[in-house]
Amino acid sequence: MWPNAWRISVEGLRPVVPMMNAHLSTWPSAPEVEDLFLHRQVEWSFHRRRLRFDLARSVFAAASVDAGSALLLRHLQAVGIDHVQRMLDVGSGQGTLGVVLSALDPSRQLSAVDRDALACRYTIRNLALNASEGTVDGAVAGNAGSEVVGSLGYDAVSGLEPPDLVVSNIPGKAGQAVIGELVRGAGLIGAQGTMVGFVVVEPLKPLLTELVEQSQYTVLLDKGNKTHHVIVATVDDMAEQPPLRGFDDGLYDRGRQEFGHKSLVWACRPVFGLGEFDGLSYPSMLLRAALQGVPGGPAVIAEPGQGHRAVIAARSGCRPETLISRDLLALRASARCLDDAEVTAATPRLVHDVDVTAALGPETTTVIYHADDKIHGPYFVDQVRRVLDHLEQSSGRTYRDLVLTGRSGMLGRLEVDVLRRRRGHVAHKQSRRGYRALRFRLSA
């Protein structure tokens, strides 16, 4: 079993170990926070198994079961997977592949990974939903040995027992280097004879074909339609292949660059897959002025992106002791950015979750929260309310600050609907090009 995995059972969710390593933790989100992302509930049948899925907004395939996943499942059944007992789903998303493969044989053990904490939560949710209520001829549709964990590709599964089957609905926008690692890595974490199944959107068919040919796979099936393409293969002896690179070995790196705003300058290594890779955004530029006058103290940085906002906070006198994001890549990149910029003495705690309050402690004095344009509005408003509740209940503090950055319209409505109803005042507000930074100081 992995550290920090979540075991799915008929009875529900059971936290196994709350720490992935000394500085990376995941905690169970409050159900009401998770529910805010619920977009649709659907029923779907596969080989006479009737399954139900809760689909989350802002996670891939939020409207219906993805056609690419359905195509891969049909072709896997055509090839034959009766021998499979241990499965690995890389990039689980809503959990479609794992739920269906578990339903076909409840004795199978599923391991699923995703870099998005919300995707992990909904994979867990859908496994539990079908394990507890979906039955076929008296058999439970789902198994009690499933594990879900946040991971960048195969980073968290290097010590896993070789699976019998590795599947991945490969994200089309992951970039060629990451896609190559996903395809090649399936063989490296497997063993000779392990079956692999990949599905990509049709424009990526040439790339997938080339990558499979370059790896030591024996192709069993190579088919597609107008929208998607599937390759199913088995692993040959891959002992001579170079090892997986992963985050620490630079798979996502763009190279060291210099960043700054006015007199504030630092250097770090931005990554592919996140914004602000070639310069600061307007919210980050506005953050420095918003932090002027904030006394130094333990700070939580929510949705830190590449890490520039954490560096600005540290250079402004705050102590960024905790970073929280639903995107594991942002957490890893931000922690390294702080280290590259040499602005903190200690490595921050990283919290991979969708609930910002999971990162707050009794000593937290400053919360810096960036509202990404893609964040569901009611979710952001709810999170701000929950953060304010926590800060108001903290005892022994003469000051507590909530610093928000994001679109001007969103923060303007938030100020009217939420902040003006709280004990405190807006200590700073500045806008630029449709974005705003706002600092709310809570009354003692």
Closest CA to 149 of 236, 79, 90: 90
Bridge partner residues of 165 (DSSP) = 87, 195
The pLDDT > 70 percentage for the chain reads: 88
Nearest residue to 8 (alpha-carbon basis) of 146, 149, 148, 150:
146
Q: How far apart are CA 122 and CA 188, in angstroms?
A: 28
Q: How far apart are CA 175 and CA 274, in angstroms?
A: 12
- Rounded distance, CA 349 to CA 337, Å? 14
With contact defined as beta carbons under 8 Å apart, do 24 and 145 qualify? no
Q: What is the pLDDT of residue 26?
A: 57
Residue with token string 């689980």: 92
- State the average pLDDT over residues 266-284: 96
pLDDT of residue 161: 87
Both tokens of 167, joined, read 């599947």
What are the Cα distances from residue 350, in Å, to 154, 321, 332, 353?
19, 9, 8, 9
* pLDDT > 70? residue 398: no
Checking 315-319 for CB contacts under 8 A at 24+ apart, the result is 315/264, 315/266, 315/288, 315/343, 316/288, 316/291, 316/292, 317/291, 318/291, 318/294, 318/366, 318/368, 319/344
pLDDT for 341 equals 95
pLDDT in the model for residue 346: 81
Question: Over 90: is that where the pLDDT of 139 sits?
Answer: no
Residue 377 has what pLDDT? 76
Average pLDDT, the chain: 88
Task: Please give the Cα distance from 362 to 135 (Å, whole number).
Answer: 45
Distance CA 312, CA 325 (A): 17
For residue 268 the two structure tokens come to 């770090």
Q: In terms of Cα–Cα distance, which of 389, 388, 421, 382 is closest to 403?
A: 388
Q: What pLDDT is recorded for position 142?
A: 47
**Rounded distance between C-alpha atoms, residue 259 and residue 313, angstroms:** 14
Helix locations, 233-376, DSSP H: 282-290, 308-315, 328-341
Q: Which residue has the tokens 């496994």?
A: 127
pLDDT at 276: 96
Tokens of 59: 């996670």
- Going along the chain from its start, the domains and CATH numbers come out as 6-235 (3.40.50.150), 257-442 (3.40.50.150)
Q: Please report which confidence band the pLDDT of residue 8 belongs to, taking 50, 70 and 90 as the band edges.
A: low
- What's the Cα-to-Cα distance from 88 to each of 60, 108, 167, rounded to whole Å? 19, 11, 6
Distance between CA atoms of 202 and 127, rounded to whole angstroms?
29
Give the Cα separation of 278 and 186 in Å (integer).
32
* Residue 6 to residue 348: CA distance in whole angstroms: 24
Helix (H/G/I), strand (E/B), else coil: 92? coil
Pairing outcome for strands 146-150 and 400-407: unpaired
Q: Which of 17-31, 117-131, 305-319, 386-400 is predicted least confidently?
A: 17-31
Local confidence band at 24 (pLDDT 50, 70, 90 cut-offs):
low
